[in-house]
Amino acid sequence: MKPIISVAGFLCMTVFVALSVHAATLVETQSGEHGMQKMWIEGSHMRVDMGKGGEYMLADYTKKKIFIIDPAKKEMLDVSQFVNDSRRHSDGLQVRVQLVGSGPKVAGYSTQKYSLSVNGRPCKQALVSHKALEDAKLGPMLEAISSIEINPMGSQFMSECDRAGMLFAKRMQKLGMPLGMIEANGKITDKVERIVQNAPLPAGGFKLPVGFRRISMQQKMMDALGVGSSSGGKVLTPEMKKMMEEMMKQGGR
């Protein structure tokens, strides 16, 4: 009697399982002045290559945890305190997402063009693809980020269009994945160049690196202002202290 699975077949299955565990969806986006941005997504986990000295961002939107990793300095900047419930910043906003018609092909996908407006004021237009949403497996991610917001300065410093950003995301969950945004001047920004399924993750994947110094935004600001442990006795001016307190208050709400 022949074995149900040959040795070669077993090895192939083992390799496939290993690749599946360490693979995700890769989305490459042209983001203007920041150049090409690479983003790996798996469920509610996200890793974004920030392109500056090897820095990258790790996020778990279910746990509302976000870190910016600096390999050169071996630091992990915890910005989770700035993850807020978006409902607090969307009160009084009447959002409208209206189909305009067909849009251009983006990253090989046919798109539909939607206009986004808030309180009767036009914001942007979005190029959306339902097929891209399915291929990228972004449903869980859009669900997670549609209920939170990352903004250290508070809603009073945001325009109505920016405040409505997560409401737009929630409305578009079933419509598809945004592959580009059309600004008022007609220019397409944040344009997706390609979507790669089962893409290998960079070394470390979605895990926080071991042996890195974990710091808060407050510590980072103090270091930048020269008032950390190596500050040489410098102290915050009343204006700096007030600014820091306001930022921390907004992030902790």
Question: Is residue 232 over pLDDT 70?
Answer: no
179-213 pLDDT, tens per residue? 999 988 888 889 999 999 899 999 999 999 999 99
Q: What is the pTM of this model?
A: 0.72
- What lies within 8 Å, CB to CB, of 178 at 6+ separation is 126, 127, 128, 172, 190
Side by side, the strands of the sheet bearing 188-189 are 95-106, 109-118, 121-129, 177-182, 188-189
The one-letter code for the residue type at 103 is G
Higher pLDDT, 87 or 179: 179
Arithmetic mean of pLDDT, 118-122 = 89
| 16 has pLDDT over 70 | no
Residues 82, 152 contacting (CB under 8 angstroms): yes
Predicted confidence band of residue 90 (pLDDT cuts 50, 70, 90)? low
CA dihedral 128, 129, 134, 137 (to 10 degrees): -40
Q: In the structure, what pLDDT confidence band is assigned to residue 81 with cuts at 50, 70 and 90?
A: confident
CA distances from 209 to 69, 74, 249 (A): 8, 9, 29
Q: Which residue has the higher pLDDT, 68 or 142?
A: 68
Alpha carbons 251 and 243: distance in angstroms, whole number? 12
| Secondary structure (3-state) at 121 | strand
Question: How would residue 9 be classed by pLDDT, with cut points 50, 70 and 90?
Answer: very low
More confident residue, 96 or 148: 96
